[in-house]
Structure 1
Amino acid sequence: MTSRISLPLIQALRNTARRLATEAPYQWGHMGSCNCGHLAQTITHLTKAEIHARALQRYGDWERQLVDYCPTSGLPFDQTIDEMLALGFSRQDLTNLEKLGDPAVRQAIPFERRNALRHNQRDDVVLYLRTWADLLEQRLLAAVPLATAQELVPA
């Protein structure tokens, strides 16, 4: 799962899920309005058309583009990926998002829903994003040291 957990990363997942659940057009076959495309919109503030146009400058879907990604290429789509990685996502995270394939996220989804997940269904993507954000939030909270009762008593 995610390399660097942070509040902005978790918020990006939650904002993407909220936008997808309420208003945003969803089209899995479109590089700017698929699973990763929506997350890219949230992070980069680019439109779906801008993301799609950047992606068309090189061959392949998100998975292929992530394999071919080069931080020094200067290609606009690689710059889009740069922004996503800078927030803390890994290339594997993004590959998993496109197919809803992260084992830890899937494991946290109730069995009946988990086995029926489809990577190209809006409601399933929203569930996956929310579950992923919940898991990361739990990990972040678990890493925060809590004061003991003795530390709270004034000397």
Structure 2
Amino acid sequence: MKKIKPELIAAIERTAKKLKDGATYQWGHMGACNCGNLAQELTYLSKAEIHRYAMERSGDWNDQLLEFCPSSGYPIDLIIEKMLDFGLSLEDLGHLERLSSPQVLQAIPFERRNSLSKNRKEDVILYLQTWAKLLRNRWASEQQIEDLSLAEKKLADLILR
């Protein structure tokens, strides 16, 4: 991951909240899966738009990430590029789709970690919440102490928008 941006943390937290509050989740749908739900928050595209753009090229999110080329002209590559602009890496997106980041998994209790399923909504919510908490803690530790309360307020404003 590149430099952590508060906007990314806020988007991950909003994604988890939306899923918890009943947003559509369907792992086999490019716009309503793990990456698709986060893409909705980062790009303001609908799940239908993301899915339609992704279907212009074959494969799931993992295939799309392997084929990523910012100059391809494919809309899905523009979506991925926008997500990368928020500080994500292709590896982060691959881990999100499979719920497989070693750092995130390490922060989840052992019993729960071993039963995670990449296509179970409750597990995606837990993964997103854990990931956001790790990013928030890392981001906070990188801030100057005198700037921390102002920075935390900015982050709270982003989450609540």
Pairwise same-fold verdict (TM > 0.5):
yes
Matched with 1:91 is 90
1:146 and 1:46 mapped to 2: Cα distance?
Answer: 36
Matched with 1:65 is 64
Matched with 2:106 is 107
Aligned-pair Cα RMSD in Å: 0.8
**What amino acid is aligned across from residue 22 of structure 1 in structure 2?**
D
1:31 and 1:145 mapped to 2: Cα distance?
Answer: 39
1:23 and 1:109 mapped to 2: Cα distance?
Answer: 23
- Consecutive aligned runs of 4 or more in structure 1 exceeding 3 Å deviation: none
**What amino acid is aligned across from residue 133 of structure 1 in structure 2?**
A
Give aligned pairs, total: 146
Matched with 2:154 is none
2:139 and 2:75 mapped to 1: Cα distance?
Answer: 32
Structure 2 segments unaligned to the other structure (5+ residues): 147-161
**What amino acid is aligned across from residue 53 of structure 1 in structure 2?**
R
**What amino acid is aligned across from residue 48 of structure 2 in structure 1?**
A
- Return the offset for 1:30: 0.5
- Return the offset for 1:6: 1.2
2:35 and 2:142 mapped to 1: Cα distance?
Answer: 27
1:25-56 deviations in whole A, cap 9, x for unaligned? 11000000000000001111111111010001
Matched with 1:8 is 7
1:113 and 1:3 mapped to 2: Cα distance?
Answer: 28
1:23 and 1:108 mapped to 2: Cα distance?
Answer: 25
Match of 1:5, SS state, is coil
- Return the offset for 1:74: 1.3
- Return the offset for 1:66: 0.4
Matched with 1:40 is 39
1:139 and 1:112 mapped to 2: Cα distance?
Answer: 25
**What amino acid is aligned across from residue 104 of structure 2 in structure 1?**
V
Match of 1:72, SS state, is coil
- Return the offset for 1:146: 2.3
Matched with 1:27 is 26
Match of 2:76, SS state, is helix
Matched with 1:49 is 48
With normalisation by structure 2, the TM-score equals 0.88
- Return the offset for 1:15: 0.5
